Amino acid sequence: MKKWVIVLAFLVASTLLFGAAVAETKEKEIQTLVFYRLSAASHDAYCLPLMQAFMEENPDIVIEDVVVTSGGYEALASKVLLANAAGTPPDVAMTGYSLIKTMVESGNAVDLTPFMAKDAKFNTKGLFPAMMDLGKFNSKQYLIPLGTSTPIMLLNKDLFAQVGLDPDNPPKSWAEAEAAAQKLKNAGYMGILWGWSVTGNWIFQTMIENAGGKLATPDSKTVMFDEEPGLRTMTYLQDQVKKGLMPVTDQTLATFATGKLGMLIDSSYQRVNTPKMVNFPVILAPVPTPTGADPLVPAGGNGVMMFAQDPKKQEAAWRFIRFLTEETASFIVGEKSGYTPANQNVIEQLKVKYVDDKNFAIALSQAAKVIPWHAWPGENGVKINKIIRDMQESILLLKETPKAGLSRAAAEVRALL
């Protein structure tokens, strides 16, 4: 009799344990997050390990990525906006810093401030304030930085040495850059290429801000890029073209990779990618400014925004976004891309680990003191960036004078605003 009692007790206990296990499984049911992101060899190099590392740490969450392979942040933003309009928004999406206003005003972006406030695991103090500020709109945090880049000058060390220039003492002012470009041209090479086509307005904003101007007021109500600093910028660039010192092409990296271009103004994001695709040593240096002063550097790069509307999806999405600020993810971003993570502790560790890498040191030091990349408001933000890009191309191709091109583009932007 006692034997049957023991067996019965065992069966009851097993049933209870099984029921508890089922309940726990249901409580931790697998969540699938749809993540819209850019995809190219350079982006996959850090995005794929990021997603894999997150899923290993969070086996109850699966990330399903939807990729955009061309068109940059503008094309990615357009895809997200279309998904929002169709009622099928992604749960999370990579977003370029200059497009945050456009994305928030689409109506589906989720304010991350409440998630940050109630999550004891989220270390706001460990993140660079300047980078976190890039994700704010109307005092609310809508975007958490993933990786930040800054405008930077890439030098072909061999060409510099060949024509008698000192690669360890790169040009600091616009006049010095022009003189170096002239020396390269005299030796049969291309001098300098300011990356005017990079995301449409990034280098343009960099040059204007260092000339003492702005693209517009912070609220974008007053367009300013057609004022004197903008005219000075476009006149300088057109003069470089007229003097044969600068080629007019949007194939910036391909042109630099030929080995026949001495200087390229592009992104610190190229710190990892470009040296791998060329057969000459590359040196990074600060962007030349009108007076040779230390440059103001608008933040390039991207962060991640939440668009999930379901509370369970939001909880999973927040865990992914928080993960991107932690050490595991930050080391992946810092070492496998040209981006600088926002995690201050990781940056300090990277400085020590790569103390002999001068290119890395410049990228890390610049990213800690970025200024905002101007974000145009409303659904026309992508169109405005294209107007500014096309205006620069028209002036550089000598189709318009700098004054006429700037005035026309400013009028078109004002109409959209």
Tens-digit pLDDT profile for residues 314-338: 999 999 999 999 999 999 999 999 8
* Section 37-60 average pLDDT: 95
In percent, how much of the chain has pLDDT > 90? Answer: 74
For residue 91, pLDDT beyond 50: yes
pTM: predicted TM-score of the whole model, two decimal places: 0.82
Give residues with Cβ within 8 angstroms of 235, minimum separation 6: 402
Chain center to CA of 44: 14
- The residue among 296, 271, 266 whose CA lies nearest residue 373 is 296
At 20 the pLDDT is: 46
Question: Tens digit of pLDDT for each residue in 277-300?
Answer: 899 999 999 999 999 999 999 988
For residue 22, pLDDT beyond 80: no
> 13 falls in which pLDDT band (50, 70, 90)?
very low
Q: What does the longest C-alpha to C-alpha distance in the chain come to?
A: 106
In percent, how much of the chain has pLDDT > 70? Answer: 93
Q: Which amino acid is at 166?
A: D
- Residue 86: how many CB atoms within 10 A of its CB? 8
- The residue among 295, 269, 279, 273 whose CA lies nearest residue 177 is 295
- The residue among 299, 371, 360 whose CA lies nearest residue 151 is 299
Question: Tens digit of pLDDT for each residue in 337-380?
Answer: 989 999 999 999 999 999 999 999 998 888 777 888 888 877 78
Gyration radius of the chain over CA positions = 25
At 107 the pLDDT is: 80
Instruction: Please give the structure tokens belonging to residue 18.
Output: 């099984």
Go through 257-279 and write b for each residue having 16 or more CB atoms within 10 A of its CB, e for each that does not.
beeebbbbbbbbbbbbbbbeebe
Strands 282-285 and 190-194: unpaired
More confident residue, 357 or 106: 357
Q: How many angstroms separate the CA atoms of 241 and 229, rounded? A: 19
- The residue among 133, 86, 136, 131 whose CA lies nearest residue 106 is 86
**Mean of per-residue pLDDT scores for the chain:** 90
* Section 83-105 average pLDDT: 92
At 364 the pLDDT is: 87
Strands 31-38 and 92-96: parallel
Chain center to CA of 269: 8
- The residue among 222, 274, 279, 272 whose CA lies nearest residue 253 is 274
Is residue 43 helix, strand or coil? helix
* Section 27-36 average pLDDT: 86
At 267 the pLDDT is: 92
> 4 falls in which pLDDT band (50, 70, 90)?
very low
